[in-house]
Structure 1
């Protein structure tokens, strides 16, 4: 299965691009670095996992991607709370991370069967 064909990977890639673009001008380099690294981590781990040979390795990297999704959601919430991210955009991203986390669970279950 090519990771590029996975809807979950495509949507995570788009979310990462959106976060990078939106926060490009953020002067808090520590925050910007952390949130963009989390955003980048999710599609990267999906890709790495899907390129692995064994089911066990694939699943391991998908769980890492899911954990990074939770990390990213936390940073979005904090970014909203400290007014780095506007409420409507933060809500959109939070909803997206929740949906994609569920999609990752579905993919993990499918691969594990």
Structure 2
């Protein structure tokens, strides 16, 4: 199955698009850059993993995507607290990031077969 067909990739892409749209006028470029990069990293690393030749490489990039979910969720909380992200938007993003993280965790378990360790 191609990465574009996977629900986890589709959801993470939608999340990334939402972040870019919501923060397009944010003037704190450091914060904006960091949070958009972590959101973009999720679908990008899923795609990169599925374009690799080995299951070990696929596992590595999906694992990086999962880590980016945690990074994004943390940055979202900080963005809410400093007033850059409206609470309703931010809590929706965090909820979606946690769902995506769980989906990636399940995918990692499926990819983690003994011959690839």
Is TM (by shorter chain) over 0.5? yes
Counterpart of 1:105 in 2: which secondary structure?
A: helix
Tell me what 1:98 maps to: 98
Which 4+ stretches in 1 moved above 2 angstroms? none
Tell me what 1:73 maps to: 73
Instruction: Structure 1: state its 5+ residue gaps.
Output: none
CA distance in 2, matches of 1:8, 1:52: 18
Task: Map 1:24-35 onto structure 2 (within 5 A).
Answer: 24-35=24-35
Deviations for 1:70-107, whole angstroms, at most 9, x for unmatched residues? 00011100000001001111110110011100000111
Instruction: Structure 2: state its 5+ residue gaps.
Output: none
| Residue 108 of structure 1: how far off its partner (Å) | 1.0
Number of aligned residues: 113
Counterpart of 2:106 in 1: which secondary structure?
A: helix
Give the alignment's Cα RMSD to 1 decimal: 0.7
Counterpart of 1:71 in 2: which secondary structure?
A: helix
Deviations for 1:17-64, whole angstroms, at most 9, x for unmatched residues? 000000000010111011111111110000000111111110000110
CA distance in 2, matches of 1:17, 1:93: 11
TM-score w.r.t. length of structure 2: 0.94
Tell me what 1:3 maps to: 3
CA distance in 1, matches of 2:79, 2:14: 19
Counterpart of 1:52 in 2: which secondary structure?
A: coil
TM-score w.r.t. length of structure 1: 0.97
CA distance in 2, matches of 1:77, 1:83: 10
